[in-house]
């Protein structure tokens, strides 16, 4: 059983996915986390992805689908939450082909206004070692520049600066937003207001998932 969690960059998908995994027992699959692991170890696919992400572009579908296949196989029988995948119509259709009819139970859209998205992203800081995410205003680390979890250094990712954010949001509008209609047509689309504080968003999300029997 699979739930797709979608939304623009900065909508809070990672935060909510972590909460759902921790409190509701889902297996969280984030292609972004998997890609960052490959970048950290310096693999060929990691170097390719790093160059693309530094320009504010999305990683090719073929790379993401290969990662996704491995992650789904490893999940076994646990319910799965896809964090930020699919990101375009081709990926959405490829996912349907990969898992078959009926396995995807819902596509949940975290909807946030664009000014809030820009503010969230430019203030975000990421641990270079474990990938943990912080925000300089909303959820700062206890010690500036140091990860609470592992002690690693916190950085602003290259694709989180103001100019790259504009590019990423435009890519989202052109490429990712059309999947909302795709899931509407399948009767799987659900909207959650992502402008609220994270605990309120999680309460709405968990209620929705429970009502769907997931």
168 an active-site residue? Answer: yes
Confidence of residue 27 (pLDDT cuts 50, 70, 90): very high
Q: Does residue 176 fall inside a structural domain? A: yes
In this predicted structure, the answer to whether residue 45 has a pLDDT above a threshold of 80 is no
Domain harbouring 20, CATH code: 3.40.50.300
In this predicted structure, the answer to whether residue 46 has a pLDDT above a threshold of 80 is no
Catalytic residue among 13, 28, 36, 120: 13
Confidence of residue 123 (pLDDT cuts 50, 70, 90): very high
In this predicted structure, the answer to whether residue 201 has a pLDDT above a threshold of 90 is yes
Q: Does residue 139 fall inside a structural domain? A: no
Catalytic residue among 28, 87, 120, 164: 87
124 an active-site residue? Answer: yes
Q: pLDDT by residue (tens digit) across 54-109? A: 888 878 888 778 778 778 887 888 999 999 899 899 999 999 998 987 899 999 99
pTM above 0.85, yes or no: no
Q: What is the mean pLDDT of residues 117-132?
A: 91
13 an active-site residue? Answer: yes
Q: Does residue 122 fall inside a structural domain? A: no
Catalytic residue among 28, 36, 125, 168: 168
pLDDT at 214: 63
In this predicted structure, the answer to whether residue 184 has a pLDDT above a threshold of 90 is yes
Q: Does residue 184 fall inside a structural domain? A: yes
Confidence of residue 180 (pLDDT cuts 50, 70, 90): very high
Q: Does residue 48 fall inside a structural domain? A: yes
Confidence of residue 19 (pLDDT cuts 50, 70, 90): very high
Q: Does residue 156 fall inside a structural domain? A: no
87 an active-site residue? Answer: yes
Catalytic residue among 57, 105, 157, 191: 157
Q: pLDDT by residue (tens digit) across 4-17? A: 999 999 899 989 99
Q: Does residue 94 fall inside a structural domain? A: yes
Catalytic residue among 28, 36, 120, 124: 124
Q: Does residue 101 fall inside a structural domain? A: yes
Q: Which of 28, 32, 6, 8 is nearest to 19 (CA)?
A: 28
The DSSP line for the chain is -EEEEE-STTSSHHHHHHHHHHHH--EEE-HHHHHHHHHHHT-HHHHHHHHHHHTTPPPPHHHHHHHHHHHHHHHTTS-EEEES---SHHHHHHHHHHH-TT-EEEEEEEE--HHHHHHHHHTEEEETTT--EEETTTB--SBTTB-TTT-PBEE--GGGSHHHHHHHHHHIIIIITHHHHHHHHTT-EEEEETTS-HHHHHHHHHHHHHHTT-
Structural domain including 197 reads 2-113+165-211
In total, how many domains does the chain have? 1
d(CA 3, CA 156): 29
Confidence of residue 155 (pLDDT cuts 50, 70, 90): very high
């Amino acid at each position: 059983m699979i739930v797709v969690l979608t939304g623009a960059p900065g909508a809070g998908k990672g935060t909510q996915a972590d909460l759902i995994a921790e409190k509701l027992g889902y297996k969280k699959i984030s292609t972004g986390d998997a890609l960052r692991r490959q970048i950290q170890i310096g693999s060929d696919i990691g170097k390719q992805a790093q160059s693309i992400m530094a320009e504010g572009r999305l990683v090719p579908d073929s790379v993401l689908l290969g990662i996704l296949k491995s992650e789904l196989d490893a999940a076994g029988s646990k319910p799965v939450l896809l964090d930020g995948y699919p990101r375009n119509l081709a990926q959405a259709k490829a996912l349907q082909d990969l898992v078959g009819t009926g396995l995807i139970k819902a596509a949940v859209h975290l909807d946030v206004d664009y000014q809030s998205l820009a503010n969230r992203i430019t203030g975000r800081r990421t641990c270079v070692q474990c990938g943990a995410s912080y925000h300089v205003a909303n959820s700062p680390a206890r010690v500036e520049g140091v990860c609470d979890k592992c002690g690693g250094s916190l950085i602003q990712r290259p694709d989180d600066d103001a100019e790259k954010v504009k590019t990423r949001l435009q890519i989202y509008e052109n490429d990712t937003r059309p999947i909302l209609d795709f899931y509407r047509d399948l009767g799987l689309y659900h909207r959650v207001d992502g402008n609220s504080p994270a605990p309120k968003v999680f309460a709405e999300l968990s209620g929705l998932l429970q009502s769907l029997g997931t």
